[in-house]
A and B are shown apart, each in its own frame.
Chain A
Amino acid sequence: MSHILVANEVTKQFGSHTALKNVSLEIPKNSIYGLLGPNGAGKTTLIRIINQITFPDKGAVYFDGELLKSEHIAQIGYLPEERGLYKSMKVGEQALYLAQLKGLSKAEAKKRLKYWFERLEIGDWWNKKIQELSKGMAQKIQFVVTVLHEPKLLIFDEPFSGFDPINANIIKEQILSLKENGTSIIFSTHRMESVEELCEYIALIHKSEKILDGKLSDIKKAYKNNIFEIGLETNNQEALLHEMKDKFQILTQDYDSLENQLNLRVQLPSNQSGEILSFLGSRANVNGFIETIPSANDIFIKTIQNKNIDNE
């Protein structure tokens, strides 16, 4: 099986409110899968269905080829967006308790906790109470507890919220190294820059429906629109611009006097970058030539806007 998780036409209703409507997903093994969507789109409901906190009204979820059942809980690690710990419990005891709830034996849990506490350099927190720790410190412990039972599938809901940049980076490295070791990861977030950095696949959920999914690079290709950013150095700007306007569609132009550079955004018909390059090559110095690839953020906003227009 190449998919760790398959959701098939999942529908969930709360009273009269439809939280998910015929959502199908295929999450490949050993990948980082971005689950994107505005607030209230249904991401958390979907994650809760995967965690068997709640169950779908219609449709089915398959884990590693089998219909999702309660034994699979031990194979899934979930770091919820809203998270907390027992404030008056000691760090070590609490981590042991949560690990045992995931089915680890006490001895095994202790061993692994030692390893992780050393890895994240938090070994001396063992006997502290949670209320003595800062929010970021508590988040680290939460992260450890989530990954401790070495699940096949990890679900992170906004894992970087509450972290300073340094610690966010530590966590990001840990996530990447977990993926290297064969774990599949679902990554739910609004922070698009982390999507670009981490995710190979994404799905976009909006108003209870999935409106887009696939490999991030494929989606980007599909969304690119042959707009090129060109930086030119030339002695005769007026003439060049005049000549270009006949041949190509210039979207914007501005002159950077400091660098003596003319910056253009040009819309080309598909696959004609060769033509414009050879045209420019004989007339000016080309300092920069780059195709604008839409960011995940752009795709996110654009898709949702289109969807809203469709609905109206």
Chain B
Amino acid sequence: MNKLPLIIKREYIAKVRNKSFVVMTFLSPILMVGMILLIAYLTQLNDTEKKVIGVLNESSYFANEFVTSEATSYINFKDITLEQAKDSTMGLGFYGLIYLPNETNLEQVAQRAFFYSKDAPSATVLDKLENSITTRLRQERLRELGLSPKEYAEMDRSYNINIETFDGLQNVKGINEIKAIIGGAFGYLIMMFIIIYGGFVMRSVIEEKTSRIIEVIISSVKPFHLMMGKIIGTSLAGITQFGIWIISGAILLVIGLAIFDIDPASLTKGGGMSPGMANTANVDVDALTQNIQLYTQEIFELPIFAMLFFFIVYFMLGYLIYSSIYAAIGAAVDNETDTQQFIFPVILPLMLAIYVGFFSVFSNPNGPIAVAFSLFPLTSPIVMLMRLPWGIGEGGVPVWQLVTSILILIGTFIGIVWVAAKIYRVGILMYGKKPSYKELYKWLKYSS
């Protein structure tokens, strides 16, 4: 009789009923939303604190450069000395004082200009001041070259290059960053899941070992079944948790949208239209709206289904490989403190995959490093998913690489599960000593 379903069921129920699991599952979305709200609130709080800066302008320039804006307001001092101005600034509790001395030309004024403040001034404030002065300087220099302010304004208009793929589809700047974020999110999700749930599998194995129930169970169940049941049951619990998070996240999002009165349809409006339609329908709309629509559209044109499909494939294979390793580690040691020396080499390739993803794949998704790491089985689940938003086939991941990487992954999976099962089988009935790698290698050679 196959006892695997029984074991999976028990592992699943044991995990799901666990108090910390329940708390984590239902508290996390609330905590997340709470944190986002808190951050939003705090940023807002910071923004509302308007900075007041005193201006002592003795020069004949800078008449309209320092205009009160949302974040900063400028108070002009007149007919007082610098010392008096400093005192007043301090006395009135202003953020700082900008001093523009009386000089014969603008260059000189800029040279001798000072900003006084109580503490070291913030970078944003300095940037703003420097920008204002730079703009004025440039204007002055161009005027000297014979350019009218109007001509200058014309010259300053910004420019965006038009982008199009060879297929003739209109493209937008920055879409690569969005693809990178999506790919990165998938990869990161896999890494987190492996580390968290792999850890659960490991602790569960250690628990069976230390409580000695393993001795009782092992006479009725094959160690391999026990190991696989544990891995599958724990991952189902994990999927349940993620499911609850997604559903509750969606509910909270809908509630949030309702509260802030945002029409969800407006977010996806551009997506449903073909590029041509979007262009003709929105001829008059300004470039910004059009760009937003193009972004949404690009996101909708990502290979969503292919990505989801391969996400599941890579996720399953990657998780099975790593959690078998975790199970073997759990079986090899007597308590959790002994796991450290084995855990690090397991987490290393995961970290490497994430770093390679962020530093190499995003800048060059089809470069040699990206290809190598998306074929190497311990990093491919993460790296390949980071490459997938660029598409499959032409311009994206070549089909042969995808197939090869999955085949290598399956082969590795079989190999690792075989090795892990051997270590597990010997380890679960070994007590009292912390094994070395050499010892583990010896276990592999034990006949069952």
How far is B431's CA from A78's CA once the two chains are assembled, in angstroms? Answer: 20
| Contact between chains at B448 and A98 (CB < 8 Å) | no
Which residue from chain A places its CB closest to the CB of B225 in the assembled complex?
A: A101
CB distance from A205 to the nearest CB of B (A): 19
CB distance from A127 to the nearest CB of B (A): 14
Comparing B150-158, B191-199, B207-215, B254-262, the segment that makes contact with chain A is B207-215
Residue with the greatest number of chain A CB neighbours at <10 A, chosen from B1, B10, B217 = B10
A89 contacts chain B at the CB level, 8 A cutoff: yes
How far is B442's CA from A303's CA once the two chains are assembled, in angstroms? Answer: 35
Looking at the complex, which one of A55, A84, A87, A100 makes contact with B447 (CB distance below 8 Å)?
A55
B220 contacts chain A at the CB level, 8 A cutoff: yes
| Contact between chains at B215 and A84 (CB < 8 Å) | yes
| Contact between chains at A53 and B216 (CB < 8 Å) | no
A102 contacts chain B at the CB level, 8 A cutoff: yes
Residues of A within 8 A of B219 (CB): 51-53, 73, 76, 78, 80
A to B contact number (C-beta, < 8 Å): 68
Interface digits, A50-82 against B, CB 8 Å rule (1 contact, 0 not)?
011111010000000000000001001011111
CB distance from B432 to the nearest CB of A (A): 11
- Interface bracket on A: 20 to 34
Which residue from chain B places its CB closest to the CB of A55 in the assembled complex?
A: B448
Say yes or no: A84-B213 contact (C-beta < 8 A), given A53-B218, A76-B219, A97-B6: yes
B128 contacts chain A at the CB level, 8 A cutoff: no
Looking at the complex, which one of B6, B212, B446 makes contact with A101 (CB distance below 8 Å)?
B6
How far is B221's CA from A73's CA once the two chains are assembled, in angstroms? Answer: 9
Residues 98-137 of A at the B interface (beta carbon under 8 Å):
98, 100-103
B143 contacts chain A at the CB level, 8 A cutoff: no
How far is B14's CA from A87's CA once the two chains are assembled, in angstroms? Answer: 11
Residues of B within 8 A of A79 (CB): 216
How far is B366's CA from A2's CA once the two chains are assembled, in angstroms? Answer: 73
Residues of B within 8 A of A (CB): 1, 3, 6-7, 10, 14, 18, 207-208, 211-213, 215-221, 429, 431, 442, 445-448
| 19 more CB-based (< 8 A) A-B contacts, given A14-B446, A83-B213, A83-B216 | A51-B219, A57-B447, A73-B219, A73-B220, A80-B212, A80-B215, A80-B219, A83-B212, A84-B216, A85-B211, A86-B208, A88-B18, A97-B6, A98-B216, A101-B220, A101-B221, A102-B220, A103-B220, A142-B216
Closest 8 CB pairs of A and B: A84-B212, A84-B211, A80-B215, A51-B219, A78-B219, A101-B220, A84-B213, A82-B212
